[in-house]
Amino acid sequence: EDQVTQSPEALRLQEGESSSLNCSYTVSGLRGLFWYRQDPGKGPEFLFTLYSAGEEKEKERLKATLTKKESFLHITAPKPEDSATYLCAVVGWSGANNLFFGTGTRLTVIP
């Protein structure tokens, strides 16, 4: 069964303090791994798609990387506006249109 585990559940950082969020996954044939950002009271907002081990994607202070077992979302010199819950999701070749989402990491960046 496809599974996604995100850690830590919550992370508090000082502004400018870089860190990484982890997404470990188990899927029968990875079709894609996706990162989303979700602000309180809002729907998730798409950030990145990663397809194969070794792939990297960047957007502003965020960088997503992928290995055969996990993905990392690196946050460099975060700002308070980066505070949100970050969700990871996977879809396998056998999963049709069913994305499996992790429970997310709630990031708080303190000024």
Partner 1 sequence: NAGVTQTPKFRILKIGQSMTLQCAQDMNHNYMYWYRQDPGMGLKLIYYSVGAGITDKGEVPNGYNVSRSTTEDFPLRLELAAPSQTSVYFCASSYSREDTGELFFGEGSRLTVL
Positions in the binding site for partner 1 (CB under 8 A): 4, 31-34, 41-46, 49, 87, 89, 91, 96-104
Identity of the residue, 78 or 102, whose beta carbon is nearer to partner 1 in the bound complex: 102
Identity of the residue, 4 or 75, whose beta carbon is nearer to partner 1 in the bound complex: 4
Identity of the residue, 41 or 111, whose beta carbon is nearer to partner 1 in the bound complex: 41
Instruction: In angstroms, give the least distance from the CB of 32 to partner 1.
Output: 5
Measuring CA to CA, which residue among 77, 59, 73, 62 is closest to residue 102? 73
Measuring CA to CA, which residue among 78, 45, 85, 84 is closest to residue 61? 78
Question: For the chain, what's the residue count?
Answer: 111
Identity of the residue, 78 or 105, whose beta carbon is nearer to partner 1 in the bound complex: 105
| Cis, bond preceding 8 (omega within 30 deg of 0) | yes
Instruction: In angstroms, give the least distance from the CB of 89 to partner 1.
Output: 7
Instruction: In angstroms, give the least distance from the CB of 107 to partner 1.
Output: 17
Residues 6+ apart with CB under 8 A from 3: 25, 26, 27, 100
